Amino acid sequence: MTTPSAAPVTAVILVAAGSGQRLGYGMPKAKVPLGGDSILIHALRGVAAAGVARQICVALPPGDRDLAAQCEAFAEELQRGGDASEAPEITAVDGGASRADSVRAALAALHPDTRSVLVHDAARALAPEAVFHRVAEALAAGALAVIPVLPVVDTVKTVARTTGPDADIAPELVTGTAPREALRAVQTPQGFSLDTLRRAHESAEGLDEAQAAAVTDDAMLVELLGVPVHAVRGASQSLKITTPLDLILAEGLLEGPLGARWVEG
Ligand code: C5P
């Protein structure tokens, strides 16, 4: 939509092609209203405000003209809003059936000079700028892969479906308790050297449907390559808006005393 004067080096892939079924709005999640704008516009603002990207490549539900128009309007807003030569290029692509397919579609549309990529869920529309900076700084310091994480507050157990006579008591039986000190809840943006992320996604192309559905983030694929994945501090404001309760929390963050994305998590 815009032609940057200098080639981009870092791109942000914003995956926004999810159906949003669990939110129950009967529309793609990226379109759902949040504080007077759509979730997509909040996510785009957050990425642009972080200032780390020369290109923002957005994966949208295939053929969604309304969301494509929102991207165009946002690109124009950026052009009007300040130094147009500094504004990131906004590219919209059709996402795929799975999140990983959406990332791959966006990877194919990156500027050839891109060297590093941050992959971000549009559903984490209020991720603070500081998290983008921590991830970008770790990449600049030499990491090939970096993810933002938070300590886990709940005790986490593994379970299996109950079989035999016990099935009448409860549907699942506990098989173990994970050591909480070593557990982290993983967020986005996740940062990678472009070469690492491309290799990770190429290696996943042969996965069957069930395996592909189990790929819930990009770092998983990078781990399978044996590449070290570094972890930096995430933020509670980066919550993934998935259920109606999350939307209430996000509205509260925008309106409440926390002051939305500018408060450190
Ligand atoms: O559904 P899930 O919670 O994994 O979605 C995480 C992010 O991935 C969301 O921002 C969603 O829009 C995106 N996604 C996508 N393409 C899909 C599925 C999810 O871009 N096919």
For 131-170, what is each residue's pLDDT tens digit?
999 999 999 999 999 999 999 999 999 999 999 888 899 9
Is residue 175 a part of any domain in this protein? Answer: no
CA of 39 to the centre of ligand 1 (A): 13
Is residue 164 a part of any domain in this protein? Answer: no
Tokens of 39: 């979730």
Confidence of residue 48 (pLDDT cuts 50, 70, 90): very high
| pLDDT above 70: residue 39 | yes
Cα–Cα distance, 114 to 33 (Å, whole number): 32
Is residue 256 a part of any domain in this protein? Answer: yes
Phi, psi dihedrals of residue 175, rounded to the nearest 5° = -110, -15
Cα–Cα distance, 164 to 168 (Å, whole number): 8
The CATH number assigned to the domain holding 113 equals: 3.90.550.10
Any ligand 1 atom below 6 A from CB of 95: yes
**pLDDT value at position 2?**
46
Is residue 159 a part of any domain in this protein? Answer: no
Is residue 115 a part of any domain in this protein? Answer: yes
Domain that holds residue 219: 10-149+186-262
Is residue 142 a part of any domain in this protein? Answer: yes
Number of separate domains in the chain: 1
Q: Which of 17-21, 131-135, 168-172, 184-188 comes out lowest in average pLDDT?
A: 17-21
**pLDDT value at position 68?**
98
Q: Which of 55-64, 96-105, 167-176, 251-260 comes out lowest in average pLDDT?
A: 251-260
Confidence of residue 4 (pLDDT cuts 50, 70, 90): very low
Any ligand 1 atom below 6 A from CB of 28: no
Any ligand 1 atom below 6 A from CB of 46: no
Dihedral, CA atoms, 96, 98, 100, 103, nearest 10 degrees? 30
Tokens of 89: 């290029």
Nearest CA to ligand 1 atom 5: 18
**pLDDT value at position 56?**
98
Nearest CA to ligand 1 atom 17: 99
Whether the CB-CB separation of 254 and 263 falls below 8 Å is answered with no
The mean predicted confidence, pLDDT, of the chain is 92
Written in H, E and C, the secondary structure of the chain is CCCCCCCCCEEEEEECCCCCHHHCCCCCHHHCEECCEEHHHHHHHHHHHHCCCCEEEEEECCCCHHHHHHHHHHHHHHHHHCCHHHCCEEEEEECCCCHHHHHHHHHCCCCCCCCEEEEEECCCCCCCHHHHHHHHHHHHCCCCEEEEEEECCCCCEEEEECCHHHHHCCCEEEEEECCHHHCEEECCCEEEEHHHHHHHHHHCCCCCHHHHHCCCCHHHHHHHHCCCCEEEECCHHHCCCCCHHHHHHHHHHHHCCCCHHHCCC
CA of 130 to the centre of ligand 1 (A): 23
Task: Give the β-pairing of 116-121 and 10-15.
Answer: parallel
Is residue 37 a part of any domain in this protein? Answer: yes
| pLDDT above 70: residue 6 | no
pLDDT per residue over 198-241, tens digit each? 999 999 888 888 888 888 999 999 999 999 999 999 999 999 99
CA 43 to ligand 1: nearest atom: 10
Tokens of 164: 């035999």
Calculate what percentage of the chain has a pLDDT beyond 90.
Answer: 79
Any ligand 1 atom below 6 A from CB of 40: no
Among 12, 13, 14, 15, the mutation site with the greatest number of ligand 1 atoms within 8 A of its Cβ is: 15
Is residue 70 a part of any domain in this protein? Answer: yes
